[in-house]
């Protein structure tokens, strides 16, 4: 069994990164000024048959807003949120025409009006950014956003060896770890997860998986 002590990660840690960047996106490790390529691939190839235009979409941990604006551009009704107020203000400055789509909110204390509201929830990199001990809570909180027939798209860093895990952050997941954590949160995988190496230099191993509620009832 893998046993590792992991440092806590809080909303304040993310706020500090954005605030200390002082408007320089190169100082935010995960910001690259474009929508995530794996999201774009999924939107082009798979989403049109699953998610209608105008569907309600939530973007978890939206950061500087590129993924959210890509979804808006494609005709979805987007609510994007982040635990960092600086990130939200920054996103609103970058995309003033879409400022109303961005909200400051903590995943673990979301407004009740968002519960069971969204046809699609997009989660990219949040699960991997929190310690493994928080995975269950994280996916459970995300699952609360889903409408009864809603879908959750997860894109995260992956690892193949279940016996090794860096001290973090980040904490990449094996496919089995992702599926087990999702199942514990009441989510069932749709189809086969896709694990691949991306186009970064050097390439990063990632998993993309789609989930629905395990039952159709609230």
For 7-60, write each residue's pLDDT tens digit.
Answer: 558 899 999 999 999 999 999 999 999 999 999 999 999 999 999 999 999 999
**Residue 64 within a domain:** yes
Cβ burial 134-172 (10 Å sphere, 16+ → b, else e): bbeebbbbbbbbbbeebbbbbbbbbbeeeeebeebebbb
**Residue 20 within a domain:** no
**Residue 51 within a domain:** yes
**Residue 17 within a domain:** no
How many structural domains does the chain have? 1
* pLDDT surpassing 90 at residue 216: no
Check which CATH number belongs to the domain holding 153 and give it: 3.40.50.150
* pLDDT surpassing 80 at residue 218: no
SS3 content of the chain, % helix, strand, coil (to 5): 40, 25, 35
Note down the domain range covering 71: 34-213
**Residue 13 within a domain:** no
Q: How is residue 85 written in tokens?
A: 């107020």
* pLDDT surpassing 70 at residue 171: yes
pTM, entire model: 0.92
- pLDDT in the model for residue 8: 52
Residue with tokens 């895990």: 165
**Residue 27 within a domain:** no
**Residue 25 within a domain:** no
pLDDT in tens, 78-129: 999 999 999 999 999 999 999 999 999 999 999 999 999 999 999 999 999 9
| Mean pLDDT score, 206-215 | 94
* pLDDT surpassing 60 at residue 4: no
């Amino acid at each position: 069994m893998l046993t590792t002590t992991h440092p806590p990660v809080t909303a304040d840690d993310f706020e500090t990164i954005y605030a200390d960047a002082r408007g320089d996106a190169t100082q935010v490790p995960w910001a690259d000024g474009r929508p995530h390529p794996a999201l774009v691939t999924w939107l082009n190839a798979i989403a049109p048959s699953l998610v209608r235009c105008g569907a309600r979409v939530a973007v978890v941990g939206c950061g500087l807003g590129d993924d959210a604006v890509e979804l808006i551009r494609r005709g979805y009704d987007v609510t994007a949120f982040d635990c960092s107020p600086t990130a939200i203000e920054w996103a609103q400055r970058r995309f003033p025409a879409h400022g109303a789509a961005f909200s400051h909110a903590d995943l673990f204390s979301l407004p009740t009006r968002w519960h069971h509201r969204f046809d699609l929830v997009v989660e990219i990199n949040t699960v991997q950014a929190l310690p493994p001990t928080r995975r269950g809570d994280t996916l459970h909180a995300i699952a609360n956003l889903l409408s009864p027939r809603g879908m959750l798209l997860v894109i995260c860093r992956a690892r193949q060896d279940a016996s090794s895990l860096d001290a973090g952050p980040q904490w990449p997941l094996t496919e089995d770890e992702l599926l087990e954590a999702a199942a514990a949160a009441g989510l069932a995988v749709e189809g086969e997860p896709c694990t691949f190496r991306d186009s970064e230099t050097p390439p990063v191993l990632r998993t993309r998986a789609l989930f629905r509620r395990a039952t159709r009832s609230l």
